[in-house]
């Protein structure tokens, strides 16, 4: 849970001072906007919650625009605002913490049998799938910091 907590903090502080238009700006062709990255992280957190048997923080329909393989572009009127995404990120942090506290070591060590999630890399156990998703979130967490700098904002984590 502590890695997710650090990543939540990192995304939150790197999003401070970024307005809605900036959050939807793609710095180059095929590059993801900050809005897309935060929404994509939330979609992946839904996967962690599913692995832990907890409900998602937003629906499949809401997450669709943030799925892997998308263009990274979130035009006005689509997806969530950055403020909404950050609020959902906070809710996901609470949900992850609660779910991790009640999940037994045996459940984490069990083979992952959830359809679709069993194909994630990193090993066969539920814990291995969650570890991969923590890495995935860390990868995108760094992107949020870079996207902030590409928007001309000063770095906030030193």
pLDDT digits (tens, 9 = 90+) for 74-122: 877 889 999 999 999 999 999 999 999 999 999 999 999 988 888 888 8
**Contact 148/34 with Cβ under 8 angstroms?**
yes
Our CA angle for 121, 1, 63, nearest 5°, is 60
Burial track 46-80 (b if 16+ CB lie within 10 A, e otherwise) = bbbbbbbebebbbeeebbebbeeeeebbbeeeebb
Q: What is the pLDDT of residue 1?
A: 66
Mean predicted confidence (pLDDT) in 139-146: 96
* Rounded-to-integer distance, Cα 131 and Cα 129, Å: 5
The beta strand positions in the chain, using DSSP E, are none
Mean predicted confidence (pLDDT) in 114-135: 91
Q: Residue 121 has what DSSP assignment?
A: S
**This prediction's pTM:** 0.94
The closest of 119, 147, 113, 144 to 133, measured between CA atoms, is 119
What integer best gives the mean pLDDT of the chain? 93
């Amino acid at each position: 849970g502590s890695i997710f907590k650090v990543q939540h903090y990192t995304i939150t502080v790197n999003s401070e001072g970024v307005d809605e238009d900036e959050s939807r700006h793609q710095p180059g062709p095929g590059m993801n906007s900050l809005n897309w990255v935060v929404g994509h992280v939330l979609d992946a957190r839904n996967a962690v919650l599913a692995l832990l048997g907890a409900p998602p923080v937003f629906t499949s329909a809401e997450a669709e625009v943030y799925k892997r393989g998308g263009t990274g572009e979130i035009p006005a009127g689509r997806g969530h605002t950055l403020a909404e995404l950050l609020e959902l990120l906070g809710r996901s942090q609470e949900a992850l913490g609660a779910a991790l506290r009640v999940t037994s070591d045996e459940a984490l060590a069990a083979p992952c049998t959830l359809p679709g999630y069993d194909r994630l890399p990193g090993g066969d156990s539920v814990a291995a799938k969650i570890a991969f998703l923590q890495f995935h979130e860390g990868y995108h967490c760094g992107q949020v910091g870079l996207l902030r700098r590409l928007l001309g904002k000063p770095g906030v984590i030193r």
